[in-house]
Structures are given as C-alpha cells and as structure tokens.
Amino acid sequence: MKRAEMLQQIVRRLALPVAGCLVLAGGISTAQAAEPPRPAAVATIQNDVFWKDTAANPIYSQGGGVLKVGSTYYWYGVKYNGAVSYYNNPAGGKNSNSSFSAITIYSSSDLANWKFEGNAVTSAELSGGWIGRVGVSRNPTTGKYVLVSQLDGKEWFATSSTPNGRFTAAGTQDTITNVTTGKSGDQSIFTDDDGKAYVIFSNSSGRSHLYVAPLRTSDFLHVEPAKNIFNSPVGREGNIMFKNAGTYYFCSSDLHGWNSSQTYCISARDIMGPYSSEFVLQGTAADFSHVTQTGLAFTVTGSAGSFVMFGGDRWSDFAGNGLGYNDWVPVTFNGTTPVFRSMSQWNVDAAAGTWSVGSGNNYVLNPGVEADRVAQSNLAGWTNVGSVNNNKLGGHTGRWSIEQSSSSAYSATRYQNISVPNGSYTLSAWVKSSGGQRKATVFARNFGASELNSSINRSISGWTKVTVPGITVTNGSIQVGVQSDANAGNWVNADDFSLVRTG
C-alpha cells in the first residue's frame, strides 16, 4: 500500500477533516459541496417520538412521499400549523388545526438522519385553502422535478430544476376522467422502474373506488384518464403503492379520518390490473400499523438486499394517536406475501439494503392503547380474560389506557403473547390503582421459568412506573399483561407497556 493511501485510511478512521468535509458523531457531516449528510454504515430509526432533523429542529412532514436521486433520498411532505401546536404542547391533546404552512423538503443518505433542505412552497405563495397528499417524480423528457398535490379538491402541479429547490406553480386540473366523482380522495405518486409516474388514489366523497392514473408522459403536468382497479364497500384512504419482484401492491387504510388502521392491500402483475382480492397486510392488525395510517412507501435496494420502507403517518395533532408524526418500518416478503415489521426501534443500512431489530426495541404491540381510536372492551393486540377489561379515556400519554373496574367483585386479565429472541428482558408499565385488591399485578409469565410480577394492589393516585426486571426468556416467547383479583369498586389503570431486551 502506498504511503498516501495509508494516510488516507488513518484519517478516515480517526474522522479527521478530509477535503473540506468534517465527519461528526452519528454519521452526520458538513461539507463544502451541497450534499446531504454522509451516513454511517448502520443508522437507527426510533419511532414513537418527535423526529428531529440534523439541526435538531422538529421534522414537519406528513402526507408526503420519498424520491431517490442517486444515493440521496428526498422526502417531501406538508407542515401543518396544528402539528407545530401539538409539538409545542403535546399535553394539550388533539387539535383540528389543519391549516397549511409549507411543503417541506428533507434529504438523507441513511434514512435516519434528515437534513432540512428548505420549503418547496409556502402558504404565502398560494391563494389559501387546504393542500396535502404530496408526491414528486422526475420527468425523463423535460428533466424537471414535478410535484403533484391536492389543493382545495383540485390536482395542483409545480416544477423545479432540482429535487431540493423551490418549486414553481405549473397549473391545476379540476377533474380526472373516468373517476366516479371526478376528483381524488387520498392520493400518492408512484414512479415505476421505467420512469413512468402514476397517481394512486381513491375517489372523493365516499372513497369506495380505487384508481391508478398515469401522469402525462411528456411533462407529468396532467393526470390522464384513470383505471378503476378495485371497489370497496366501506371506502379506503391513505392510498400508496410499492413493487416487489414484478408485483404491484396497492395499499390503503380504513376510512377513519386521520386515525390509525390496519392496512389493506390488493396486488397485480400489471399496474393496471387485474388485481387480487383484498387482504390485510400481515403484521398490521395487532397494533393497527404501529398506530399509523398508510402514508408513503418506497423500495430500499442496496448491495446486500432490499426491502420496502413503509412510512406511516401518525396524525397526532389531529387524532391524538400518541407522540410523533412519522413512524417508519420495513416491509419484507415471504414469497409474494408482504410482511409489516412493527418495531419501535430498528437499524437500517441503506447502502446495503438491510435492517435489524434495534437493541432498544419495545416488543409489546399497541403498548399505549392508542391503536383502537375509541372506547371498547376488546383491544387490538391484547386478549381478555373476564368481562371488565375496558379502554379508558385518559392515559399516561396519548388519549387511552387500560382499565379493569367493576361495581361488584371481579377477576380480570388482559395480556398478549409475544415471540421474542431468547435473552434477558425488562418489563415496565405506567399504572394507577385504587388499592384494596386481593391481588393486582403487572406480570411476565410463560417465558421458560416461573412468573415474575410487580404488585399494584395498593393506592397509586398518580401515574407511576412499575418494573419487572431480570426476565430470562429461554423458550422464544413470553406473556405479559395486567391482572386483578378485586373487590367491588376496586380499579386499575395501565398504560405505556414496554418489554425491552437487556442482554
């Protein structure tokens, strides 16, 4: 090895300045060239929190999409004024301020560290009204980056010569041919391998008809006549598309209005169909797609593999679904069957196209009781024993918590069985209790040894964290939950369960 090459390797290992670029902790870099942060080999995605950009400012991006240009991912979405209010005061709960502030642009090479590039367009540049469901694609003929969005019931187009520049308005379209209402409900933009771009959407006013419509090939500034590829009797929204091994997957949420939902999909070998019957995306039922609504999807392909990134929108500011606006997880494939990997923390190597479970991942599904949206006795992801298990309005975080309560003596258990790698774990939960129960516990059992628990049959007036440490799983599974053997009038509330591997 030449001396110069050897010195370059030493410099890189020590993370010293090289050619005007200083590599900082966590894989973030500042450079003389206008490039996004250079990634570490593996970066960590942490869900269930408010995401920050590389300047430590809140990321505001909802109802958007991601476009890869070279090795850089550009993320476009909408900043709503209600999102800012919720971030500044999450204890204030949900609000309905969906007024438009800006379409934002962020860039990343590692899919975890995002640099704010600026606003594509702001409210001052529009005549007012609601804007959302943003997507961007590069037109191969003009070389322009074309932004397509909804604006007050119309299709709105804007263009830029660069993916991270200001976008200039380029026209509107009042109606889309062959659509039952003439207009889209929720939509996203899908760019195929051949560079052609499509609008993926359901109709407005009912959203029971699903469509695929090409953007005009010459410039992407017009939505061509749509193809009705599926009809749902109950309506679908949050429509997205991804592709794997030549199969197209059109996925949507329930018609819940900015609320979490399991994800429904149809598939086809041709983008225009025919499509399969509808199926629930595997892994989304137990916690309603990690307490999100379908928001965006794109494929991550690297030197060692590939997976689909599912970007779930958590409309916390409007629906009160828990902290954070964006929860992203990998979707993998078992043959042609897509599988949603619900995780609170995971690692991604974008260059390799691989991922792994994070060391701080919470293995409990629907741990904060927010997935279901409404009060009910059955809770997504959990199993009841006894008839006095309910969802209670008012939680440690978010809007809901578990409640066990009755005016007569009762016995109740709410639990979930979880498959986990063998190893050591700690279980925790936030609880309140009337006290006086014959027995009340947060417990871990069926993990290959005797039950471990924390007793809560005492008066606990304010939310208090209880912990069950030292759980050694030897059989690849565990049951966790809350149990009461109680007298009339006794009650227990539990929220924000966590099962984290400690060794």
Domain boundaries, the chain: 34-357, 383-501
Distance between terminal CA atoms of the chain?
Answer: 41
| C-alpha span between 21 and 25 (Å, rounded) | 13
Helix (H) or strand (E) holding 316: helix 316-319
pLDDT at 42: 95
Superfamily assignment of 383-501 in CATH?
Galactose-binding domain-like (2.60.120.260)
Q: Tell me how far apart the alpha carbons of residues 311 and 356 are, in angstroms, rounded to a whole number.
A: 17
Written as one letter, the residue type at 74 is: Y
The answer as to CATH 2.40.30.10 being correct for domain 34-357 is: no
Cβ 383 vs Cβ 415: under 8 Å: yes
What pLDDT does 92 receive?
A: 80
Residue 287 DSSP class: T
Distance CA 437, CA 435 (A): 6
Distances from the Cα of 237 to the Cαs of 63, 79, 188, 205, in angstroms? 11, 20, 10, 11
pTM: 0.90
Please give the torsion angle defined by the CA atoms of residues 468, 47, 22 and 75, in that order, rounded to the nearest 10 degrees. Answer: 180
**How do the pLDDT tens digits run along the chain, 503 residues long?**
443 343 334 333 333 232 223 222 222 222 233 444 444 589 999 999 999 999 999 999 999 999 999 999 999 999 999 999 999 988 787 888 999 999 999 999 999 999 999 999 999 998 768 899 999 999 999 999 999 999 999 999 999 999 999 999 999 999 999 999 999 999 999 999 999 999 999 999 999 999 999 999 999 999 999 999 999 999 999 999 999 999 999 999 999 888 999 999 999 999 999 999 999 999 999 999 999 999 999 999 999 999 999 999 999 888 888 889 999 999 999 999 999 999 999 999 999 999 999 999 999 999 999 998 887 788 999 999 998 999 898 899 888 999 999 999 999 999 999 999 999 999 999 999 999 999 999 999 999 999 999 999 999 999 999 999 999 999 999 999 999 999 999 999 999 999 999 98
**pLDDT value of residue 40:** 54
Task: Using the CB atoms, write b or e for 384-408: b if 16+ within 10 Å.
Answer: beeebbbbbeebbbbbbbbbbbbee
For residue 316, report the phi and psi dihedrals to the nearest 5 degrees.
-55, -40
Q: Which two tokens stand for residue 315?
A: 């409309």
